[in-house]
Amino acid sequence: MLIIEGTSGNLIGKGLARLGNFNYAAVESRIFPDGESYIKMPRLDEKSVAIVQSAYAPQDKHLLELLFMASELREHGCDEIVAIIPYLAYARQNKRFEDNEAVGISTLMKLINSSGVDSIITVEPHRYEIMKMFAGKSKIVEMSEAISLAIKNGIEKPVILSPDKGGIERAKKVADITGCSYDYIEKARDYATGEVSAKASVSEDLRGRNVAIVDDIISTGGTVEQAARIAKSCGSNRVIAAAAHLVMANGAYERIRNAGVSELYGTNTIPYNSAKLIDISEYVLRALNELRS
Ligand code: R5P
Protein backbone atom coordinates (compact mmCIF):
# COMPACT_ATOMS: atom_id res chain seq x y z
CA MET A 1 0.00 0.00 0.00
CA LEU A 2 1.13 3.54 -0.71
CA ILE A 3 0.54 6.22 1.93
CA ILE A 4 0.11 9.70 0.51
CA GLU A 5 0.54 12.63 2.85
CA GLY A 6 -1.95 15.32 1.89
CA THR A 7 -1.47 19.03 2.49
CA SER A 8 -2.84 18.67 6.04
CA GLY A 9 -1.48 15.21 6.85
CA ASN A 10 0.55 16.75 9.68
CA LEU A 11 3.19 14.02 9.12
CA ILE A 12 0.84 11.33 10.44
CA GLY A 13 1.23 9.67 7.03
CA LYS A 14 4.99 9.53 7.49
CA GLY A 15 4.63 7.93 10.94
CA LEU A 16 2.09 5.47 9.63
CA ALA A 17 4.30 4.47 6.68
CA ARG A 18 7.31 4.00 8.95
CA LEU A 19 5.43 1.90 11.51
CA GLY A 20 3.55 -0.15 8.94
CA ASN A 21 6.41 -0.48 6.47
CA PHE A 22 4.38 1.09 3.66
CA ASN A 23 5.63 3.13 0.74
CA TYR A 24 5.28 6.86 1.30
CA ALA A 25 4.98 9.98 -0.81
CA ALA A 26 3.77 13.51 -0.24
CA VAL A 27 1.35 15.26 -2.53
CA GLU A 28 2.64 18.26 -4.48
CA SER A 29 0.57 21.34 -3.89
CA ARG A 30 0.53 25.08 -4.24
CA ILE A 31 -1.92 27.92 -4.12
CA PHE A 32 -2.66 29.90 -7.25
CA PRO A 33 -2.53 33.71 -6.96
CA ASP A 34 -6.35 33.77 -6.81
CA GLY A 35 -6.40 31.39 -3.84
CA GLU A 36 -7.32 28.17 -5.65
CA SER A 37 -5.53 24.92 -4.80
CA TYR A 38 -3.25 23.10 -7.23
CA ILE A 39 -2.75 19.40 -6.52
CA LYS A 40 -0.42 16.97 -8.24
CA MET A 41 -0.30 13.37 -7.13
CA PRO A 42 3.04 11.57 -6.76
CA ARG A 43 4.03 8.67 -9.03
CA LEU A 44 1.41 5.98 -8.59
CA ASP A 45 2.80 2.48 -8.94
CA GLU A 46 0.35 0.90 -6.50
CA LYS A 47 -3.34 0.19 -6.75
CA SER A 48 -3.97 0.44 -3.00
CA VAL A 49 -3.56 3.89 -1.60
CA ALA A 50 -4.34 5.69 1.66
CA ILE A 51 -4.47 9.48 1.70
CA VAL A 52 -3.89 11.26 5.02
CA GLN A 53 -5.68 14.58 5.04
CA SER A 54 -6.96 16.14 8.26
CA ALA A 55 -9.81 18.63 8.02
CA TYR A 56 -8.65 21.33 10.40
CA ALA A 57 -8.77 25.00 9.42
CA PRO A 58 -9.05 26.05 6.66
CA GLN A 59 -11.49 23.15 6.67
CA ASP A 60 -13.09 23.72 3.28
CA LYS A 61 -9.75 23.97 1.49
CA HIS A 62 -8.45 20.78 3.10
CA LEU A 63 -11.65 18.91 2.33
CA LEU A 64 -11.75 20.05 -1.27
CA GLU A 65 -8.13 18.99 -1.71
CA LEU A 66 -9.06 15.56 -0.33
CA LEU A 67 -11.75 15.28 -3.01
CA PHE A 68 -9.24 16.32 -5.69
CA MET A 69 -6.73 13.71 -4.51
CA ALA A 70 -9.29 10.89 -4.30
CA SER A 71 -10.73 11.69 -7.74
CA GLU A 72 -7.28 11.65 -9.29
CA LEU A 73 -6.50 8.28 -7.69
CA ARG A 74 -9.76 6.84 -8.97
CA GLU A 75 -9.17 8.15 -12.48
CA HIS A 76 -5.72 6.64 -12.34
CA GLY A 77 -7.28 3.22 -11.76
CA CYS A 78 -6.53 2.70 -8.06
CA ASP A 79 -8.81 0.03 -6.72
CA GLU A 80 -8.51 0.67 -2.97
CA ILE A 81 -8.69 4.25 -1.74
CA VAL A 82 -8.70 4.84 2.00
CA ALA A 83 -9.18 8.37 3.29
CA ILE A 84 -7.54 8.86 6.68
CA ILE A 85 -9.14 12.04 8.00
CA PRO A 86 -7.74 12.44 11.53
CA TYR A 87 -9.97 15.41 12.34
CA LEU A 88 -13.30 15.28 10.55
CA ALA A 89 -14.73 18.78 10.34
CA TYR A 90 -18.50 19.42 10.26
CA ALA A 91 -19.14 16.39 12.48
CA ARG A 92 -20.96 18.51 15.05
CA GLN A 93 -23.67 19.49 12.53
CA ASN A 94 -24.93 15.91 12.55
CA LYS A 95 -28.61 16.87 12.51
CA ARG A 96 -30.96 19.83 12.13
CA PHE A 97 -30.99 21.61 15.48
CA GLU A 98 -33.33 24.17 13.88
CA ASP A 99 -35.54 23.96 10.78
CA ASN A 100 -33.85 24.42 7.40
CA GLU A 101 -30.31 24.06 8.66
CA ALA A 102 -27.95 22.29 6.26
CA VAL A 103 -26.65 19.03 7.70
CA GLY A 104 -23.11 19.62 6.47
CA ILE A 105 -21.61 16.27 7.46
CA SER A 106 -24.23 14.36 5.46
CA THR A 107 -23.38 16.25 2.24
CA LEU A 108 -19.71 15.91 2.96
CA MET A 109 -19.91 12.13 3.36
CA LYS A 110 -21.70 11.83 0.00
CA LEU A 111 -19.07 13.98 -1.69
CA ILE A 112 -16.21 11.96 -0.21
CA ASN A 113 -17.81 8.74 -1.39
CA SER A 114 -18.54 10.01 -4.88
CA SER A 115 -14.97 11.28 -5.28
CA GLY A 116 -13.84 7.65 -5.17
CA VAL A 117 -13.03 6.99 -1.51
CA ASP A 118 -13.86 3.39 -0.53
CA SER A 119 -13.28 3.69 3.21
CA ILE A 120 -12.67 6.29 5.87
CA ILE A 121 -10.61 6.20 9.05
CA THR A 122 -11.13 9.02 11.48
CA VAL A 123 -10.38 9.80 15.11
CA GLU A 124 -13.32 10.10 17.54
CA PRO A 125 -15.86 12.02 15.48
CA HIS A 126 -18.24 14.04 17.62
CA ARG A 127 -21.07 11.52 17.09
CA TYR A 128 -20.09 8.02 16.05
CA GLU A 129 -23.37 7.47 14.18
CA ILE A 130 -22.34 9.97 11.48
CA MET A 131 -20.13 7.27 10.01
CA LYS A 132 -23.33 5.58 8.82
CA MET A 133 -23.81 8.55 6.49
CA PHE A 134 -20.81 7.30 4.51
CA ALA A 135 -21.73 4.59 2.02
CA GLY A 136 -18.44 2.67 2.28
CA LYS A 137 -16.58 1.08 5.16
CA SER A 138 -15.32 3.14 8.07
CA LYS A 139 -13.25 2.77 11.18
CA ILE A 140 -13.05 5.00 14.24
CA VAL A 141 -9.78 5.45 16.11
CA GLU A 142 -10.36 5.85 19.84
CA MET A 143 -7.88 7.83 21.88
CA SER A 144 -9.03 6.85 25.40
CA GLU A 145 -6.07 4.53 25.94
CA ALA A 146 -3.47 7.10 24.83
CA ILE A 147 -5.17 9.91 26.74
CA SER A 148 -5.28 7.77 29.90
CA LEU A 149 -1.55 7.13 29.61
CA ALA A 150 -0.85 10.84 29.21
CA ILE A 151 -3.04 11.65 32.20
CA LYS A 152 -1.39 8.95 34.33
CA ASN A 153 2.02 10.41 33.56
CA GLY A 154 0.87 14.00 33.99
CA ILE A 155 -1.15 14.05 37.20
CA GLU A 156 -1.43 11.99 40.37
CA LYS A 157 -4.63 10.15 41.33
CA PRO A 158 -7.03 12.27 39.29
CA VAL A 159 -10.82 12.30 39.10
CA ILE A 160 -11.83 12.19 35.42
CA LEU A 161 -14.46 14.82 34.74
CA SER A 162 -16.69 14.88 31.69
CA PRO A 163 -17.81 18.47 31.00
CA ASP A 164 -21.20 17.22 29.77
CA LYS A 165 -23.53 14.25 30.01
CA GLY A 166 -22.79 13.15 26.43
CA GLY A 167 -19.19 12.48 27.40
CA ILE A 168 -19.84 10.14 30.32
CA GLU A 169 -18.92 6.99 28.40
CA ARG A 170 -15.60 8.52 27.36
CA ALA A 171 -14.88 9.64 30.93
CA LYS A 172 -15.74 6.16 32.24
CA LYS A 173 -13.45 4.51 29.69
CA VAL A 174 -10.55 6.83 30.53
CA ALA A 175 -11.19 6.37 34.27
CA ASP A 176 -11.27 2.57 33.95
CA ILE A 177 -7.96 2.52 32.09
CA THR A 178 -6.40 5.08 34.44
CA GLY A 179 -7.76 3.23 37.47
CA CYS A 180 -9.58 6.15 39.07
CA SER A 181 -13.10 7.54 39.52
CA TYR A 182 -15.10 9.77 37.17
CA ASP A 183 -17.94 12.24 37.24
CA TYR A 184 -19.73 14.66 34.92
CA ILE A 185 -21.21 18.14 34.76
CA GLU A 186 -24.57 19.08 33.28
CA LYS A 187 -23.99 21.50 30.43
CA ALA A 188 -26.40 23.60 28.41
CA ARG A 189 -25.52 25.53 25.25
CA ASP A 190 -27.41 28.49 23.87
CA TYR A 191 -27.41 27.66 20.15
CA ALA A 192 -28.02 31.28 19.19
CA THR A 193 -24.92 32.65 20.94
CA GLY A 194 -22.86 29.46 21.24
CA GLU A 195 -22.33 30.26 24.93
CA VAL A 196 -22.12 27.43 27.43
CA SER A 197 -23.62 27.31 30.92
CA ALA A 198 -23.27 24.52 33.44
CA LYS A 199 -24.83 23.30 36.67
CA ALA A 200 -22.49 22.34 39.48
CA SER A 201 -23.85 18.82 39.67
CA VAL A 202 -20.65 16.97 40.51
CA SER A 203 -21.28 14.21 43.03
CA GLU A 204 -17.64 13.32 43.74
CA ASP A 205 -15.98 15.25 46.55
CA LEU A 206 -13.35 17.21 44.65
CA ARG A 207 -11.81 18.95 47.66
CA GLY A 208 -8.01 18.70 47.42
CA ARG A 209 -8.29 16.30 44.46
CA ASN A 210 -6.59 16.53 41.08
CA VAL A 211 -9.03 16.74 38.18
CA ALA A 212 -8.59 15.78 34.53
CA ILE A 213 -11.33 17.19 32.29
CA VAL A 214 -11.71 14.93 29.27
CA ASP A 215 -13.65 15.84 26.12
CA ASP A 216 -13.63 14.90 22.43
CA ILE A 217 -12.94 18.41 21.19
CA ILE A 218 -12.04 21.85 22.50
CA SER A 219 -13.19 24.58 20.16
CA THR A 220 -14.01 27.92 21.79
CA GLY A 221 -12.91 26.53 25.14
CA GLY A 222 -16.27 27.47 26.71
CA THR A 223 -17.11 23.92 27.78
CA VAL A 224 -13.78 23.22 29.45
CA GLU A 225 -13.77 26.70 30.97
CA GLN A 226 -17.08 26.02 32.73
CA ALA A 227 -15.93 22.61 33.91
CA ALA A 228 -12.65 23.98 35.23
CA ARG A 229 -14.42 26.78 37.11
CA ILE A 230 -16.78 24.28 38.71
CA ALA A 231 -13.91 21.96 39.64
CA LYS A 232 -12.05 24.87 41.20
CA SER A 233 -15.13 26.11 43.04
CA CYS A 234 -15.54 22.59 44.46
CA GLY A 235 -12.07 22.90 45.98
CA SER A 236 -10.04 20.82 43.54
CA ASN A 237 -6.27 21.03 43.48
CA ARG A 238 -4.67 20.78 39.99
CA VAL A 239 -6.94 20.83 36.96
CA ILE A 240 -5.74 19.59 33.59
CA ALA A 241 -7.67 19.12 30.34
CA ALA A 242 -7.37 16.58 27.55
CA ALA A 243 -9.19 16.19 24.25
CA ALA A 244 -8.68 14.26 21.06
CA HIS A 245 -9.06 17.36 18.88
CA LEU A 246 -7.67 20.74 19.87
CA VAL A 247 -9.46 23.07 17.48
CA MET A 248 -8.62 25.93 19.85
CA ALA A 249 -10.50 28.76 18.15
CA ASN A 250 -9.21 32.25 18.92
CA GLY A 251 -8.78 32.90 22.62
CA ALA A 252 -9.62 29.34 23.72
CA TYR A 253 -6.25 28.72 25.32
CA GLU A 254 -6.31 31.90 27.44
CA ARG A 255 -9.91 31.14 28.35
CA ILE A 256 -9.16 27.72 29.81
CA ARG A 257 -5.90 28.87 31.42
CA ASN A 258 -7.75 31.73 33.15
CA ALA A 259 -10.28 29.21 34.44
CA GLY A 260 -7.50 27.27 36.16
CA VAL A 261 -6.40 24.63 33.64
CA SER A 262 -2.67 24.17 34.21
CA GLU A 263 -1.88 21.74 31.40
CA LEU A 264 -3.45 20.74 28.15
CA TYR A 265 -3.16 17.40 26.34
CA GLY A 266 -4.31 16.57 22.85
CA THR A 267 -3.36 14.62 19.75
CA ASN A 268 -1.77 15.60 16.46
CA THR A 269 -5.04 15.35 14.51
CA ILE A 270 -4.66 19.15 14.52
CA PRO A 271 -1.31 20.94 14.79
CA TYR A 272 -1.17 22.94 18.03
CA ASN A 273 1.87 24.27 19.88
CA SER A 274 0.60 25.07 23.37
CA ALA A 275 -0.28 21.50 24.37
CA LYS A 276 1.40 18.15 24.83
CA LEU A 277 0.37 16.24 21.73
CA ILE A 278 0.09 12.47 21.43
CA ASP A 279 1.08 11.07 18.02
CA ILE A 280 -1.83 9.04 16.63
CA SER A 281 0.16 7.16 13.94
CA GLU A 282 0.30 3.80 15.74
CA TYR A 283 -3.42 3.94 16.55
CA VAL A 284 -4.22 4.75 12.93
CA LEU A 285 -2.06 1.83 11.83
CA ARG A 286 -4.08 -0.52 14.05
CA ALA A 287 -7.30 0.80 12.52
CA LEU A 288 -5.96 0.46 8.99
CA ASN A 289 -4.91 -3.14 9.61
CA GLU A 290 -8.33 -3.96 11.07
CA LEU A 291 -10.11 -2.26 8.22
CA ARG A 292 -8.16 -4.24 5.63
CA SER A 293 -8.23 -7.64 7.38
C1 R5P B 1 -19.93 19.00 22.64
O2 R5P B 1 -20.85 18.26 22.92
C3 R5P B 1 -18.50 18.57 22.54
O4 R5P B 1 -18.28 17.34 23.15
C5 R5P B 1 -17.55 19.60 23.11
O6 R5P B 1 -17.78 19.70 24.49
C7 R5P B 1 -17.75 20.95 22.47
O8 R5P B 1 -17.87 20.84 21.09
C9 R5P B 1 -16.62 21.87 22.82
O10 R5P B 1 -16.86 23.12 22.25
P11 R5P B 1 -16.38 24.46 22.94
O12 R5P B 1 -14.92 24.31 23.23
O13 R5P B 1 -16.68 25.51 21.91
O14 R5P B 1 -17.18 24.65 24.18
Residues 109 and 193 in one domain: no
* Domain, as residue range, for 158: 144-278
Residues 120 and 157 in one domain: no
pLDDT at 202 over 80: no
222 assigned to some structural domain: yes
* pTM for the model: 0.94
285 assigned to some structural domain: no
Where are the extended beta strands (E) located within 209-272?
A: 210-218, 239-246, 261-267
CB 113 within 8 A of CB 135: yes
Lowest mean pLDDT across 103-117, 123-137, 187-201: 187-201
291 assigned to some structural domain: no
Q: Whose CA is nearest to atom 13 of ligand 1?
A: 220
Q: How far apart are CA 152 and CA 106, in angstroms?
A: 37
Nearest atom within ligand 1 for CA of residue 225: 14
Percent share of the chain, pLDDT over 90: 91
CATH number at residue 158: 3.40.50.2020
Q: What is the mean pLDDT of residues 29-47?
A: 96
The set of protein residues with a Cβ atom below 6 angstroms from ligand 1 is 92, 163-164, 166-167, 196, 215-223
Residues 41 and 167 in one domain: no
Residues 136 and 148 in one domain: no
Q: Which residues pair with 265 in a beta bridge?
A: 242, 276
Q: How far is the CA of 89 from the centre of ligand 1 (A)?
A: 13
Q: Write down which residue in 123, 141, 159 finishes a domain.
A: 141
225 assigned to some structural domain: yes
pLDDT at 11 over 80: yes
pLDDT tens for residues 79-124?
Answer: 999 999 999 999 999 999 999 999 999 999 999 999 999 999 999 9
Q: Write down which residue in 124, 141, 158 finishes a domain.
A: 141
Residues 113 and 219 in one domain: no
Q: How far apart are CA 211 and CA 203, in angstroms?
A: 13
Other beta carbons within 10 angstroms of residue 7's beta carbon come to 20
Positions marked catalytic: 187
Q: Whose CA is nearest to atom 8 of ligand 1?
A: 217
Q: Write down which residue in 104, 121, 141 finishes a domain.
A: 141
Residues 58 and 98 in one domain: yes
Q: What is the pLDDT of residue 168?
A: 94
